[in-house]
Structure 1
Amino acid sequence: MTAHEAPEADMLPGLRAAVDDAKAKAAATRRRKAASWQPADTDPVARVLVDIALAHLDRPFDYAVPVAMADTAVPGARVKVRFAGQDVDGFVVERVSETDHTGPLQPLRRVVSPEPVLAPEIAELSATLARRYAGARSDVLRLAVPPRHAATEKQPSVPAPAVTPPAPRAWAEVEHADAFLRRLAAGESPRAVWSAAPADDWPAMVAEAVATTYAAGRGAVVCLPDRRDVSRVDAALSALLGEGHHVCLTAEGGPAARYRDFLAVSRGARRIVVGTRSAAFAPVHDLGLVVLWDDGDDLHAEPRAPYPHTREVLVARAEQQGTAALLGAVARTPEAQQLVGSGWAHELAVPREALRRRARVEAVPAEDRSVGTRIPRPAYDAIRRGLESGPVLVQTPRAGYAASLACDTCRAPARCTVCTGPLVVSGPTVPPQCRWCAHVEAAWACATCGGRGLRAPVRGEARTAEELGRMFTGTTVRSSSGERVVERVGSQPDIVVATVGAEPVADGGYAAVVVLDTWLSLARDDMRAAEEALRRWINAAALVRAGGHVVAVGDPAHPALQALVRWDPAGFARRESEERAQAHLPPGARMATVTGDLGALDDALHLLDLPDGAEVLGPVPVDDEHRVLLRVPWSRGTSLSLALGDLQRLRSARKLDPVRIQVDPLTI
């Protein structure tokens, strides 16, 4: 051995020891990993709803639960799983002891959070809605469960304090309301469709129904169209029950606040939820009452797939969980009337004698437009008398100054000389401008008669406020529309000009309400034009104080205006239902639309197994696509939904060009 070889020989035992030690550590690590991936001793199989919107894969899949995740992979928890070669999100919906899968199960990759955010009843509701709307459960769950906020999840939820709510008083004049509230207090599940009357404090009435349910040890969900209504019910509940008993689920608070409130409900710390569309899925413990306000508002129609309507979500939930239901509104939709007619719900309304005391409603024809005024004498007198005792509301259907222009001589529509688009005026001293290309027409002349004068056949709230300011000099005129919505006004004698849906609430109610340009609301080319017009007018009229005066300017012979004068939204809804049933339109029939390219539509119709009695209408062009309308009798609606669901799964499995399916669309 040479001098150079001696140190190397001395190092060999040390190297061998290091190698042996590394091998031992690696073997121990493999043993620990192998032990951690062993299936759990109890319920080793997790059924997971994978977050993949493919119709043919819309079902739970079985995964093995490693022993290290046995305590955290609880039903309702968020997990990561391996699916189609990638890690995807999912929810554990069930833990079971056996599986029908014949081969080895893939283990859960990890538990994202042990927080059970998907309640069993919401998982079941998602399956019900996916079947009804021919959609995917993963799409429904995106609407039901908000995104996770890890920092918020670590914070505890403080339990609600004890409270004894006062006896209901706001329902005193409503027929059968005492029986409805008694049944709520007894823990029963009555169902009612309620028509609010003029001068009703409906947020206080909703709060009393919720408080009655809450006092019986049960929870409640209240769904409203928008943030303004949520704020009103929030204030009413706080005044009745105090702070700390309910949460508001809306998007305005931000993701952290929304997830915090959601967790408070999911953990049982809060059992009263007030919110917009997504609040219908709130996992309230011991749910006893679901409340929906103004189901005719189009904000209740979800714009994302599978396009569920809040009314149908709450009706399905009430049936599934055996809860009480209260569908309230000033107007009445044919769908709500159908629930009354079928016996599913009973009617709550103020007697006719009380309605006569609440408000005086009249419809007056518009004067000749050639005189340059759109406010006839009876409406002018109503405003003048109303200003003697309080504020006056004037509702107009259009925002802005002059929403459209026409030649003052021949009444031909005023068009842009560059692109033929419609001309508009944004103020009294601003020249007309094209709505399409923004070209300013400083020296416009009519292409038909050569006239240079312009008139505004449709005037917005800004122009209306300007006209009223000239009529009633010295009176403050407020405007509420678009981005400048006024939430509330006082009791001082001001004129409030508001567009539809932007009407402020007045302290003590309005002394008078005037509804202008009713013809414009009725001119929409839509099946629900008259229904929506009455809803707009009657919602404004309901803001009047007890004994106030309501004037609607329009054709007094129109059925919608007649229903307003009689204050009979239920009768109008019955009439609409009967006429639509004769024409095979909803709610007397069930409909669905299929939209896509012509080739995709042709493939879909060949693959679709329609139920007996189905009609296929179309295709017709819609923007850059085509649409087919499917119609079946109401009794075959479930069969149509199932057939469309089968079509979605078949097309998904074959990777055909996509089509968009919408069951029971709000508009056709």
Structure 2
Amino acid sequence: MTGGSVARVLVDSPLPQLDQLFDYRVPDRLRDAAKPGVRVRVPLRSGGRIANGWLVELVASSEFEGRLSDLEDVVSEVPLLTPEVWALARAAADRAAGNASDVLRLAVPSRYVRVERAWAGAEPDAGPLPSTPPPVHGAAEGRIEAGLRSGERMWFAADPRPVRLETGAWVGAWAVTMAQAAAHVLADDRSSLLIVPDYRDQEQLQAALEAHLDARRIIRTDARQSGGARFRSFLDATGADARVVIGNRSTVYAPAARLGLIAMWDDGDSLMNEQLAPGVHPRDAALIRQEQSGAALLFVAHSPSVELARLVEIGWVREIPGARNARPRVIPTEHQAAHEPGSARIPSAAWRQAQEAVREGPVLVQVARPGNAPLLACDRCREPARCATCGGGLAIPREGGVARCVLCGTTANGWACPTCEGTRLRAVTIGASRTAEELGRAFPNTRVVLSDGEKPVLRVGAESALVVATRGAEPIADGGYRAVLLLDGERMLLRESLRVAEDCLRWWSNAAALVAPGSPVFLVGVGGALATALTTWRQGDWASAELASRRALRFPPAVRVASVTASTANVARAVDAAKAIDGVDVLGPTPVDESLARALVRFDYAAGAKVARELRSEMIRVATERRRPVAGRPVRRPAVLRVRFDDPEVP
């Protein structure tokens, strides 16, 4: 077809065979409204259906020689999909053998017509740009600022202490570092995307930003916002004014005028793992977007992920030195005296220090899990005790009595360890609620504060208090904690996961960074390399050593892994196609249930594009395979081949 306008449209569909641009003729009635980036409705040839889609681009002609169908309608009045976000979505989806439309569902929030029309009719007022931002906190003089100007990829170990803002609020030093970096970029009339794991971090980061910038320049994208408020924030980000956008993992896809910085706090946090297809980690999306845009990329953490250690090792990311060698005073207690009676499983030295510290201010006690019931393990080999009926954990009820399963309630009479055949049980984890109760009895005149996922506390004052918090839910204290006690380390390390040691080191590091300068941090019941890394505050060295160990075993992130799940026959065909590529090996397949099997495809990073194309082709083949109905048998559901690259659930 030649002459007139042709719209190239991405259909919003999870079907892999539809993950391409389709050409449609733009009818005269829609010529003014049909612009790149708007939502549209288009007809599909099968069954006369109408589908939603994105108008990606307008071209003068189509390579299709037949008759093009017309666009059905233009849905949005404002272009919502910018060319930069489309390029990122396409590249991220291709890297993970996924659909670009799935990525765009993460990138663009649901549309609210009234909000869109009000925004289109309003006069933008983004406030003034900052004039002379202060030096970036914690870094060697001028090193981060130079990287921001040249568009470098950087990793920086945050100053591990709380900082008081001019407003009087206390935040982690990492938040000040990121806010000041964004202020430098905004002073050059460029935008920033600041990505954090959850709303607790957003609160600190927003407070730090408001101490350095006009609040009108700050855009917050938060799942806790109403749908309309979130859509309004997205529309503000599509404007021509430079902004600072803060939010969780999906913020990496936010539109931004003249993007100058992508900054990410604590990229190893499990909350950064994208659960929705195609499951692209925001760290990987940020690396893609940095290459496409030329913006600076800044990773900030107390304990770097092993993936980040790999990027530093290969020279793709540069480590920025700190201005000073500040670190918390961490004291491991593995070989200290036994627990005192009524001390909530706290060693005697740490117990005495907590008694003294609580007179001066708040003391933090980090525990592994919420609740009351103590979880149990074998007294001989320390393996977690499991129910013989359903495999759930064994615990002692709050009211006491015989150990029973936390899932099915079966009592553990006659329990024997399947590993060492031991018959004695020991408590390895007491929940936050029971720990708070025990400490309340031990400190009768002290206020006890409980913070967990159900009842989160964001901050506490400088007055005396015992703060019992589950990992990741520790509130920030004005002036810092006078002591920090890290309990249940032994139990945390019992979790079956390749990343358990990495996660524990990060949890402990983030909690230790909340302590007041010079105050002690007690690590209870943990020794070895992890305790050394925390005590010396050299988490980067530990991550590098862990990377070397994984490289010897061909474990991620030394190599990439894709999980392939389907029927046994389809899994076999998919992995055979992948195995033809150099540097690829396959683990499995192993049965998942009666009808499905799963295989793990391991491959070098250089082979990633080829592996993704081969597995993508197999997904399309399975999805489009025709099935003839058989008389007397129920109609089978279409076969599915599920592929997940860099699957965080792979042990």
Normalised by the size of structure 2, how large is the TM-score? 0.88
The equivalent position to 1:86 in structure 2, one of 49, 60, 65, is 49
- Structure 1 vs Structure 2 CA RMSD: 2.9
1:247–1:270 CA contact under 8 A, matched in 2? no
Relative to structure 1, the CA distance from residue 262 to residue 516 in structure 2 (aligned partners, 3 Å threshold; closer, same or farther) is same
State the match for 1:174 in structure 2. Answer: 139
Relative to structure 1, the CA distance from residue 412 to residue 103 in structure 2 (aligned partners, 3 Å threshold; closer, same or farther) is closer
Q: 2:76 aligned with 1:118, yes or no? A: no
Q: 2:310 aligned with 1:338, yes or no? A: yes
State the match for 1:20 in structure 2. Answer: none
1:76–1:116 CA contact under 8 A, matched in 2? yes
Q: Deviations over 1:154-210 (max 9, x none)?
A: 112532011325532561x423x51321453xx431221011132052112111110
Deviation at 1:399, TM superposition (A): 1.4
Distance, in Å, in 2 between the alignment partners of 1:413 and 1:587 is 28
Relative to structure 1, the CA distance from residue 463 to residue 409 in structure 2 (aligned partners, 3 Å threshold; closer, same or farther) is farther
Q: 2:183 aligned with 1:211, yes or no? A: yes
1:584–1:633 CA contact under 8 A, matched in 2? no
State the match for 2:328 in structure 1. Answer: 359
- Structure 2: any 5+ residue segments left out of the alignment? 163-172, 418-422, 627-637
Q: 2:630 aligned with 1:664, yes or no? A: no
1:461–1:479 CA contact under 8 A, matched in 2? yes
Q: Show the 5 A alignment for 1:520-539.
A: 520-539=491-510
State the match for 1:579 in structure 2. Answer: 549
Q: Which residue identity is paired with 1:71?
A: D
Q: Show the 5 A alignment for 1:615-634.
A: 615-622=585-592, 625-634=596-605
Q: 2:521 aligned with 1:550, yes or no? A: yes
Q: 2:266 aligned with 1:294, yes or no? A: yes
Q: Deviations over 1:56-104 (max 9, x none)?
A: 2211111111122111100001111111321101111111111101012
State the match for 1:233 in structure 2. Answer: 205
Distance, in Å, in 1 between the alignment partners of 2:588 and 2:316 is 34
| Greater Cα offset, 409-418 or 87-96 | 409-418
Relative to structure 1, the CA distance from residue 611 to residue 537 in structure 2 (aligned partners, 3 Å threshold; closer, same or farther) is same
Q: Say which SS state the counterpart of residue 246 (structure 2) adopts.
A: strand
| Greater Cα offset, 98-107 or 334-343 | 334-343
Deviation at 1:332, TM superposition (A): 0.6
The equivalent position to 1:329 in structure 2, one of 301, 319, 330, is 301
Q: Determine which structure has more spread, i.e. the larger CA radius of gyration.
A: 1
Distance, in Å, in 2 between the alignment partners of 1:564 and 1:410 is 25
Deviation at 1:53, TM superposition (A): 2.1
State the match for 2:168 in structure 1. Answer: none
Distance, in Å, in 1 between the alignment partners of 2:390 and 2:285 is 46
Q: Which residue identity is paired with 1:364?
A: T
State the match for 1:4 in structure 2. Answer: none
Distance, in Å, in 2 between the alignment partners of 1:349 and 1:538 is 18
Q: Which residue identity is paired with 1:363?
A: P
Q: Which residue identity is paired with 2:322?
A: V
Relative to structure 1, the CA distance from residue 335 to residue 419 in structure 2 (aligned partners, 3 Å threshold; closer, same or farther) is closer
Distance, in Å, in 1 between the alignment partners of 2:545 and 2:382 is 36
Q: Show the 5 A alignment for 1:16-27.
A: none
Q: Say which SS state the counterpart of residue 162 (structure 1) adopts.
A: coil
Q: Which residue identity is paired with 2:620?
A: R
Q: Show the 5 A alignment for 1:156-195.
A: 156=119, 157=122, 158-169=124-135, 171=137, 173-175=138-140, 178-184=142-148, 187-195=149-157
The equivalent position to 2:99 in structure 1, one of 130, 136, 139, is 136
Distance, in Å, in 1 between the alignment partners of 2:245 and 2:415 is 59
Percent identity over paired residues: 38
Distance, in Å, in 2 between the alignment partners of 1:223 and 1:491 is 29
Q: Which residue identity is paired with 2:67?
A: P
1:196–1:349 CA contact under 8 A, matched in 2? no
2:8–2:24 CA contact under 8 A, matched in 1? yes
Distance, in Å, in 1 between the alignment partners of 2:415 and 2:499 is 36
Q: Say which SS state the counterpart of residue 325 (structure 2) adopts.
A: helix
State the match for 1:601 in structure 2. Answer: 571
Q: Show the 5 A alignment for 1:292-441.
A: 292-350=264-322, 354-355=325-326, 358-365=327-334, 374-405=345-376, 422-425=393-396, 427=398, 434-438=405-409
Distance, in Å, in 1 between the alignment partners of 2:289 and 2:377 is 51
1:47–1:94 CA contact under 8 A, matched in 2? yes
Distance, in Å, in 1 between the alignment partners of 2:65 and 2:285 is 37
Q: Which residue identity is paired with 1:54?
A: L
Deviation at 1:215, TM superposition (A): 0.6
Q: Which residue identity is paired with 1:51?
A: D
Q: Say which SS state the counterpart of residue 215 (structure 2) adopts.
A: coil
State the match for 2:632 in structure 1. Answer: none
Q: Say which SS state the counterpart of residue 441 (structure 2) adopts.
A: helix
Q: Which residue identity is paired with 2:142?
A: D
1:230–1:274 CA contact under 8 A, matched in 2? yes
Q: Say which SS state the counterpart of residue 93 (structure 1) adopts.
A: strand
Distance, in Å, in 1 between the alignment partners of 2:617 and 2:415 is 56
Distance, in Å, in 1 between the alignment partners of 2:543 and 2:320 is 15
2:578–2:611 CA contact under 8 A, matched in 1? no
Q: 2:54 aligned with 1:101, yes or no? A: no
1:78–1:92 CA contact under 8 A, matched in 2? yes
State the match for 1:7 in structure 2. Answer: none
Q: Which residue identity is paired with 1:124?
A: A
Relative to structure 1, the CA distance from residue 649 to residue 572 in structure 2 (aligned partners, 3 Å threshold; closer, same or farther) is same
Relative to structure 1, the CA distance from residue 101 to residue 328 in structure 2 (aligned partners, 3 Å threshold; closer, same or farther) is same
Deviation at 1:445, TM superposition (A): 6.2
1:402–1:456 CA contact under 8 A, matched in 2? no
| Greater Cα offset, 51-60 or 316-325 | 51-60
Relative to structure 1, the CA distance from residue 350 to residue 467 in structure 2 (aligned partners, 3 Å threshold; closer, same or farther) is farther
Distance, in Å, in 1 between the alignment partners of 2:110 and 2:601 is 35
| Greater Cα offset, 543-552 or 379-388 | 379-388
Q: Say which SS state the counterpart of residue 545 (structure 1) adopts.
A: coil
Distance, in Å, in 1 between the alignment partners of 2:310 and 2:386 is 46
Relative to structure 1, the CA distance from residue 418 to residue 331 in structure 2 (aligned partners, 3 Å threshold; closer, same or farther) is closer
Structure with the largest fraction of helix = 1
State the match for 2:451 in structure 1. Answer: 480
Deviation at 1:438, TM superposition (A): 4.7
Relative to structure 1, the CA distance from residue 660 to residue 375 in structure 2 (aligned partners, 3 Å threshold; closer, same or farther) is same
Q: 2:209 aligned with 1:245, yes or no? A: no
State the match for 2:165 in structure 1. Answer: none
Q: Deviations over 1:421-447 (max 9, x none)?
A: 6554564579876422357x7xx9666
Q: Say which SS state the counterpart of residue 180 (structure 1) adopts.
A: helix
Distance, in Å, in 1 between the alignment partners of 2:44 and 2:97 is 23
Q: Which residue identity is paired with 1:161?
A: G
Relative to structure 1, the CA distance from residue 144 to residue 372 in structure 2 (aligned partners, 3 Å threshold; closer, same or farther) is same
2:129–2:186 CA contact under 8 A, matched in 1? no
Distance, in Å, in 2 between the alignment partners of 1:498 and 1:230 is 19
Q: 2:460 aligned with 1:489, yes or no? A: yes
Q: How many residues matched?
A: 616
Distance, in Å, in 2 between the alignment partners of 1:63 and 1:377 is 75
State the match for 2:420 in structure 1. Answer: none
Q: 2:41 aligned with 1:70, yes or no? A: no
Relative to structure 1, the CA distance from residue 609 to residue 582 in structure 2 (aligned partners, 3 Å threshold; closer, same or farther) is closer
Deviation at 1:236, TM superposition (A): 1.5
- Structure 1: any 5+ residue segments left out of the alignment? 1-38
| Greater Cα offset, 284-293 or 242-251 | 242-251
State the match for 2:115 in structure 1. Answer: 152
Deviation at 1:407, TM superposition (A): 9.9
2:156–2:322 CA contact under 8 A, matched in 1? no
